[in-house]
């Protein structure tokens, strides 16, 4: 089943400028990890924001789990798309603790189910003992893991990650990369992530799409 299907997507920030994304089509299946690469300013982040519902396309269609979320007459707001996102700067709520941040998207669960899920996520990203800290009391790597746990907690059908490693130093990056693939595979998560680092691609992705040229180039992962 295709989790995301994008058909002839076009987007521009202002009507006077050139299209950031022009006639772009693409689809991905359940459980796939796909990297989006390309030069800066070629519309990688915009693609994620369009799928998330944070921007509205000029034309084209996006289906998520075979339901149309946006076309010329439909617009499903971001909170009803069932998509999770890890932001480049994490956007952890500064007024909430680690546990409260992770719990934030679990409002539909009962109280006991909620705390069980938080516990599970905290263990998954190895942050046990940090639950009552505030984001500013954490290191960059820890913040990144909280952001991941927060996005995964409501079990989204699709996880979007916007340059998730750009704020980490090289040593940390290597450690988290290998962890991440494991976490994502364990959670059977479908994931689309933006990067400009070839090492990210090699370590994580099943395949990549390259943006910035008129037609997105796809390449398969050689060894998995």
Partner 1 sequence: MQQLARLLRDFKKHNNGWLWISLLAAAIILLPLLAILASVGKAPNENWSHITEYMLKDYVLQSVWLVLFTGILTVLLGVILAWLMAGHDFPLRKFFRWAMYLPLTIPPYIGAYTYGNMFSYTGTVQTTLRSMGIKLDQAYFDIMSMQGAVFIFTMFLFPYVYMITVSFLEKQSGSYIENARLLGRTPVAVFTRVVLPISRPAIVGGVTLVAFEVLSDYGVVNYYGIQTFTTAIFSTWFGMYDIESATRLAAFFMIGIVSLLALERLLRGHRKFSATTSKNSPLAPIRLKGISRWGATAFCLLVLAVSFVIPVGQLFVWAGWTYEEVLLTSDFLEMTFNTISVAFLATAFIMLLSIVVANMTRIMNNSFGAALAKVLTLGYSIPGAIVAIGVLSIFIWADERLAPLYSWMGRGDAPLILSLSLGMMVVAYIIRFTATGYNSVEVGFEKIGLKYMEASRMLGIGFTRTFFKVDLPLIKGALLSGTLLTFIEIVKELPLALLLRPFNFDTLATKSYQYASDERIFSAAVPSLFIIAVSLISIIVLHQAGKRVV
Binding site for partner 1 (CB under 8 A): 52-54, 56, 59, 72-75, 77-80, 82-85, 87, 89, 91-95, 104-105, 107-108, 150-151, 154
Residue (101 or 142) nearer to partner 1, CB = 101
Is residue 207 a contact partner of residue 31, using CB atoms and an 8 Å limit? Answer: no
Residue 53 DSSP symbol: T
Sheet with 2-11, strands from edge to edge, namely 21-29, 2-11, 59-64, 67-70
Residue (94 or 129) nearer to partner 1, CB = 94
DSSP, collapsed to helix, strand or coil, labels residue 27 as strand
Residue (73 or 214) nearer to partner 1, CB = 73
Rounded Cα gap, residues 71 and 85, in angstroms? 21
Query: Of 45, 70, 17, 64, which is closest to residue 195 (Cα–Cα)?
Result: 45
Residue (14 or 224) nearer to partner 1, CB = 14
Smallest separation, CB 83 to partner 1 (Å): 7
Structure tokens given for 147: 């952001």
Smallest separation, CB 176 to partner 1 (Å): 20
Smallest separation, CB 218 to partner 1 (Å): 26
Smallest separation, CB 144 to partner 1 (Å): 14
């Amino acid at each position: 089943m295709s989790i995301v299907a994008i058909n002839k997507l076009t987007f521009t920030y202002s009507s006077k400028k050139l299209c950031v994304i022009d006639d772009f089509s693409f689809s991905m299946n359940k459980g796939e990890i796909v990297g989006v690469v390309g030069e800066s300013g070629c519309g990688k982040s915009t693609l994620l924001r369009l799928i998330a519902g944070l921007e509205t396309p000029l034309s084209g269609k996006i289906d998520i789990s075979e339901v149309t979320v946006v076309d010329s007459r439909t617009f499903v707001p971001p909170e009803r798309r069932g998509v999770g996102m890890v932001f480049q700067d994490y956007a952890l709520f500064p007024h909430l603790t680690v546990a409260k941040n992770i719990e934030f998207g679990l409002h539909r669960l009962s109280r006991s189910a909620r705390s069980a899920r938080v516990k599970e996520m905290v263990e998954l990203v190895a942050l046990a003992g940090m639950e009552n800290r505030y984001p500013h009391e954490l290191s960059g790597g820890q913040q990144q893991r909280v952001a991941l746990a927060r996005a995964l907690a409501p079990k989204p059908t699709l996880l979007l990650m916007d340059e998730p490693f750009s704020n980490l130093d090289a040593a940390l990056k290597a450690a988290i990369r290998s962890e991440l693939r494991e976490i994502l595979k364990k959670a059977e998560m479908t994931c689309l992530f933006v990067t400009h680092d070839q090492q990210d691609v090699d370590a994580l992705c099943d395949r990549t799409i390259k943006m910035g040229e008129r037609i997105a180039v796809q390449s398969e992962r050689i060894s998995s």
